Amino acid sequence: MLTPEPRRPTAVQLLTAAAAALLLLSTLLPWRELIDPVALGPAGPEAGLVRSQLWELPYATTWTMLLATLAAGTLAATITGADLVLRAAAAATASLVTAGTLYALIQLPPRLPDGVGYRPAIGLWTALALAIPLLLLAVLLSLRRPRHLAVVATSASIGVLAGLLAPDAAAPPYEPEVVAGVPHRLLDLNGGQLEDRLGMRVAIGTSDPLDSLAGNLDGTPGEWLLGRTGSEGSTVFAYGDGVALPQVALSHGVTPPALLGVSDHRMLLFAGGAANHPWAVLSVPLSLVTADISLSHRNPDGTYYVTPGIDVLATGTGPAFSHRTADRSVVIWASNSTWQIPADQLRAGLKLSDFLVAPGPGAAGNAVSSGPDGTVAWRTGRTGLALRRPGSQPQQLTGIAPAGCPLSRDPVSSSMTVEAFAVDVRGNLWLSSSTSTAVITPDGVLRPLPRKTAGVESIEARADGSVLVGVSPGGGDQVLLIPDAAAAAASYPAAPEPTSRCDRRTPAAGSTPYWMNAGVAGRGRR
């Protein structure tokens, strides 16, 4: 009895297995590089490269597992002598890698003008160089067998489809289904960190997430992020389509700055403002790689030392705060004064005295917001909020109803401790407390948001009619976007009628006294 000798793999089969093994090993090489000018130094351009392997790209998980499974199947088919499986696995693996890598290359975002951006690294090029010969070897194995050639063609088609549809290193940006007027997540900061769609982690640089997110002050499209990169340093990122690209590294000391926006290729920052330390409004060119804005040193002439090229637009001594309004102005308020500066006036030669809106302690200056239609809202105290619409007298909105009164359609009859507020482009007043968020429309009706939004720390109305809400729900900060807020506010259902104990529209005694600060103090009858 003759025992048949074990079948030995042919040279083409061995080459196919070797190519699959090398392809699998290529995933251990860097597949993506970020050219980061912030990290550039005397060591040369390579010092600014941030490299990532395929296994480190979070959105490439499915794609990576497919590649590993098919490559392992190719190796197993060579060992077991399953020719048909070998041909199919080799063709599918090669097609998957070829289609997937080329598709990822197409989706990489364009670089910034200064060269910052992503580019494919050696691992991707190695995989692509191995995938094409692997596909040719699969075809060579099947040339003499038409049935096997059909299997190879089918497997290759499946591999191409998987390479195009499976999530890869350049997955499309998050696009939620937005219901009119309902907030959706713009930035989900798990633990204070944003992870962009290419896997970069950006730790938001300020305690208020809205201070770290800004647009172009002239109204053109664009988003910018301020990310914390050290205990006393931050980086400004150009943010778009879910990708954050580093732009300028800032050295600012213990207190991080607020990012006001970008205009004329310069970013506007509000630096300092803590305790009794100095504060300043700074204009920083985006062409700088690093910038010192710590305000910790003075020049011999008494001016603050900053990196050459930075303009110091205004200065003062803290504490002080800032925010943006829907009419494209920036509000800065200190302990004794408030200034409201149009965005197009934030340039060299700025004089704060020209934009003073509320001098003196306790004035409207501890917070004010205005819209382009002339509607102005301001604080009159810790719980008090006043509103003046064009052609009408100022009206006290909150701080009048007894404690414990629930939200009702009449704002004056509702008990609210307003944490944040903003006037949008249509004169709607958005306001929030620790437990609820609502809007007061021009008809004077209070309307809660359709979706419960609690834990709001800040609100910003933008010139495009949208509203941003900074939230800390307990699992990490979030920035919620209401894209059509100004138009949708009137469609929100009104809150219920006030209870008899809280109703301030027809008071039992016939009058309800209240006081308003900011140069508008009086006693009104309701």
**Residue 525: its pLDDT value, please?**
30
- Which pLDDT tens digit goes with each residue over 236-281? 999 988 889 999 989 898 888 999 999 989 999 999 888 788 899 9
- Which pLDDT tens digit goes with each residue over 72-118? 888 888 878 777 888 888 899 999 999 999 988 888 888 888 788 88
> Comparing 6-20, 330-344, 376-390, which segment has the lowest mean pLDDT?
6-20
Say which amino acid occupies 267.
M
Q: DSSP labels for 17-76?
A: HHHHHHHHHGGGSEEEEEE-GGG-BTTBGGGGEEEEEGGG-GGGHHHHHHHHHHHHHHHH
Read off the pTM: 0.83
Token pair listed for 265: 């290729």
Q: Predicted confidence band at 358 (pLDDT cuts at 50, 70, 90)?
A: low
Say which amino acid occupies 29.
L
**Residue 519: its pLDDT value, please?**
42
Mean pLDDT of 110-139: 88
CA distance 121 to 32: 5
Share of the chain above pLDDT 90, in %: 26
CB atoms within 10 A of CB 88: 25
CB 150 within 8 A of CB 138: no
Token pair listed for 402: 């007894």
CA distance 410 to 502: 10
CA distance 48 to 111: 15
Mean pLDDT of 134-139: 86
CA distance 77 to 54: 25
- The bridge status of strand 395-398 relative to strand 385-388 is antiparallel
**Residue 471: its pLDDT value, please?**
85
> In terms of residues, how long is the chain?
526
**Residue 254: its pLDDT value, please?**
86
Mean pLDDT of 277-295: 90
Token pair listed for 262: 């970008």
Q: Is the pLDDT of residue 363 over 50?
A: no
**Residue 149: its pLDDT value, please?**
84
Q: Is the pLDDT of residue 364 over 50?
A: no
Mean pLDDT of 330-348: 87
**Residue 512: its pLDDT value, please?**
46
Mean pLDDT of 285-310: 88
Q: Is the pLDDT of residue 524 over 90?
A: no
Q: Is the pLDDT of residue 401 over 80?
A: yes
Q: Which residues pair with 334 in a beta bridge?
A: 320
Closest CA to 13 of 148, 134, 157, 152: 134
CB atoms within 10 A of CB 313: 21
Mean pLDDT of 124-145: 86
- Which pLDDT tens digit goes with each residue over 168-221? 777 777 777 778 888 888 888 877 888 888 888 888 888 888 999 999 998 888
Q: Predicted confidence band at 518 (pLDDT cuts at 50, 70, 90)?
A: very low
**Residue 526: its pLDDT value, please?**
31
Q: How buried is residue 155: exposed, middle or buried, by Cβ count under 10 Å (0-12/13-18/19+)?
A: buried
Please confirm whether the linkage preceding 498 is cis (ω < 30° from 0). no
Backbone angles phi, psi at 298, to 5 degrees: -120, 150
Which single residue is written with the structure tokens 């732009």?
247
Q: Is the pLDDT of residue 514 over 50?
A: no
**Residue 424: its pLDDT value, please?**
95
Mean pLDDT of the chain: 83
